[in-house]
Copies of this chain bind each other. A is one copy, B any other.
Amino acid sequence: MIAVDWGTSSFRAYRLDAQGAVLEARSADKGIMAVPPGPEVLEEVIGAWLDDAPIVMSGMVGSRQGWVEVPYVECPAGLDDLSRSLKKVRWGARAAWIVPGVSCRNAVPDVMRGEEVQVLGAAQEGLICLPGTHSKWVEVRDGRIQRFSTSMTGEVYAVLKQHSILGRMMEESGPQPDAFREGVHRSGDEGGVLHHLFGVRTRGLMGELAPAASAAYLSGLLIGHELRMFCQESFFLLGEPALVSLYQQAAEQLGMKGGALDPRAGTRALYRLGVMLAAKEES
């Protein structure tokens, strides 16, 4: 079968064997914001695989801006719930299945698309953080996503770096672990994040923070605020190794423990959804 992770900025496909092991992987800069999502992209990037049905796809491909909108499944949600709400898309004689996202409601609604297969593929109970543009903090119990919260940490970092006065004094550089650490520490001071942000500028003005260290300080500040808000003594991290490592450093500094989960979890969940599909078609 074929597992596809199709997000806002990238397209990643995996050809799996009958046991779910990855035989081959392909990726392209064909996220749904770059190219209109549809059969043309599949034919172009993985045309040679397309006879290996079923094709199961997760991520923003199922959003309003995607191939077809697949309604969210409400929490609590496990793989069996997702499996019952897969949406089939057809082109010519071919077809593929799109996985729904998951929603939950605290005071206001929250949503995810794509992270649900990663979390459920990891098959780990507890609190799981998927760091990124829109970080997710997900509580898993009894094999189901019970509730979750999103933190806009990564996007706030990016827009402040690129478009605010804070970015004007920043210079590109390699890792700056000391400045990152200072930022994490600062997140515990009085005054809140809107105040702490201005310190990126004033410490620069006063010569306490080098231009090459400013971005790392901002990153530590925002990740520190995120961890203090969501994290318990012990949690799990699932995502890109470089970002997971940053979160682990911050967690350790705050006396918390963030164990890394296998980032290939998403492919495993898509495989299991494919197996459920095949069983249903046989029955």
Contact = CB atoms under 8 A, between A and B. Distances in A.
Interface string A206-231: 10100000000000001001100110
Interface in A86-129: 103, 106-111
- Max chain B CB contacts within 10 Å: which of A150, A194, A225, A229? A194
Contacts of A149: 191, 195
B197 A152 contact: yes
How many identical chains are in the complex?
2
Given A111-B202, A193-B192, A194-B229, A164 B153 contact: no
Contact of A194 (B103, B109, B153, B163): B153
A109 B206 contact: yes
A107 B189 contact: yes
A110 B189 CA distance: 14
Closest 3 CB pairs of A and B: A108-B199, A192-B229, A150-B198
Contacts of A203: 108-109
Contact of A160 (B109, B159, B222): B159
A192 B229 CA distance: 7
A165 interface: yes
A176 interface: no
A267 interface: no
A136 to B, nearest CB: 10
